[in-house]
Amino acid sequence: MERKEKWLWKTTSVEQSFNTYNVSYQLTFATREPLLHDHLRRALAHLSRKVPLLRMCYAQRNGEWWLKEMCQEIIDFEMIPDVTIDEAHQKCLTFRYDIETGPLWCAKLKTNSLSLEGVSDRSMADFPHLNTLFLGIYHGITDGYSNMKICGFLIQLLEDVISGKPINDEEQLCECVAGEKTQRMVDERFAAIKANCEYKEKMVEEYQASQSKCLLASLIPEGAGEKDPKTRLLTRTLDVDTSAIFFKRCREEGVTVNSAFTALCSVAMVDFLVEGGIHRETYSISSNHVVNARRYWEGDTSEYLGCHALPTNPVVVETPRNVGAKFWDYAREVHREFLKTLDSGKALHVEAMKQIMRSESPDCGALSEQSQFDFCMTNMGDVTPLVTEGGDHVQVIHVLRCTAIHPVPNFWGNYLHSFRGRFINVLAYSTENINDQVAEKYCGKIFKHFHEAINIKK
């Protein structure tokens, strides 16, 4: 299917910041009848035609990178029956997209999926046929919210294809937009900083100070791991009952799940540092949180897809060596600090400072060769309404997500969300600095504190 050339927009600074790596989504679903590969291929073709984001590619225009619509429809679909779950994610996370031709996404199907950790033995009498689809997407065109919506669109279209319902490809399922609103807010902060020399000097000093290495870097030297690094994953899916206890306890203690889990990661990090020989009364634990920029837009943004994540929202909290039974007091402190960054638009300020540093010198403001954060966090809350549970022919069982860590200077990142009442955590780590044993040890400490926290009485 040939299309006329259609230019979309010049890439924004946020899109450019995500242009170095991929994302991988794992969508496990069950069907009433054996899944016909033709059904999935047709659903993927409809998905491409009805979601503008999936028709994007890049092109040079007057010496600048622009996004444009692909000239030809290409559906990159592959059957991967004989690979492991980890190998499937590796295929997506390391996939080399032809950014000037497209597509900037791919789909890989693994049939007869194995049982999933934390997913109860629900009755499969009506939906006995399990399949897992891996969606790989180039991060420069998309974000977590968009990806979860795309998963939901695909399930909806697969349901329609199997049922024989007519599908109108001219009716678009969403609107794909540039981050102009975000860029405008960043530009306003940029101008305000540049207009006051004394203020700019102060902001530059603060920004440079924030680029110092995290405590963890002193224990894990750069390049200590594999010379050809990759991103590996540790996943934890809690059962519905344990998840409900955790959610309820967070509400009772007046904190969000995001803040509680950040606190758990911080406390586990202190354990890690103490065992590494760093002995202090308190530790400045630094976490970086990816923020959905739509929160700063006006009006209903639910139909706007694209790359609208702000990559850097730093939170630094003094963490005592022994939190113990005062965990929830500490979690509330983390929550207060995190809310301060959200309310002040800290992530917008950091983006403006990156532009300030680049305007001073092309080499300034670039990413450090080592992480400035002890860990990174991205939380999407309950994604069930976005992905949907399915319909009469297809039921979604599980979904998880991850981003390639190895192309950027991060040791590891936690990807949080819940689906159908289950709390899901993926710890993605770069094997350049972190080996499997270190990752298992850290993840084990997080969930040790998790189980202690939900059993602590006031």
Q: What is the mean pLDDT of residues 234-263?
A: 97
Ordered by start, the domain boundaries in the chain are 6-165
**For 382-421, how does the pLDDT look when each residue is reduced to its tens digit (9 = 90+)?**
999 999 999 999 999 999 999 999 888 888 999 999 999 9
Name the residue with higher pLDDT: 122 or 144.
Answer: 144
The β-bridge partners of 286 are: 316
Query: Is residue 369 scored above 60 in pLDDT?
Result: no
The predicted structure's pLDDT at residue 20: 84
**For 2-61, how does the pLDDT look when each residue is reduced to its tens digit (9 = 90+)?**
567 789 999 988 888 888 889 999 999 999 999 999 999 999 999 999 999 999 999 999
Q: What is the mean pLDDT of residues 55-68?
A: 93
The predicted structure's pLDDT at residue 120: 46
CA distances from 252 to 45, 249, 454, 458 (A): 46, 5, 11, 10
The predicted structure's pLDDT at residue 121: 47
pLDDT class for 370, splitting at 50, 70, 90?
low
Residue 380: closest CA among 146, 176, 138: 146
Give every CB contact of residue 94 below 8 A, 6+ residues apart in sequence: 22, 230, 404
Query: Is residue 234 scored above 80 in pLDDT?
Result: yes
Q: How does DSSP classify residue 55?
A: G
Compute the mean pLDDT over every residue in the chain, rounded to the nearest whole number.
Answer: 91
Residue 272: closest CA among 103, 72, 446, 95: 446
Superfamily of domain 6-165: Chloramphenicol acetyltransferase-like domain (3.30.559.10)
Paired tokens of 200: 């700019």
Q: How does DSSP classify residue 94?
A: T
pLDDT class for 124, splitting at 50, 70, 90?
low
**For 194-205, how does the pLDDT look when each residue is reduced to its tens digit (9 = 90+)?**
999 898 899 888
The predicted structure's pLDDT at residue 13: 85
Paired tokens of 93: 């996370």
Query: Is residue 213 scored above 90 in pLDDT?
Result: no
∠ CA 292-104-397, nearest 5°, is 65
Residue 419: closest CA among 123, 155, 107: 155
Q: What is the mean pLDDT of residues 168-197?
A: 93
Is-contact 397 28, C-beta < 8 A?
yes
CA distances from 242 to 69, 121, 246, 416 (A): 45, 16, 6, 15
Paired tokens of 3: 């299309």
Nearest-angstrom CA–CA distance, 150 and 170? 17
pTM score of the predicted model: 0.93
Q: What is the mean pLDDT of residues 85-95?
A: 94
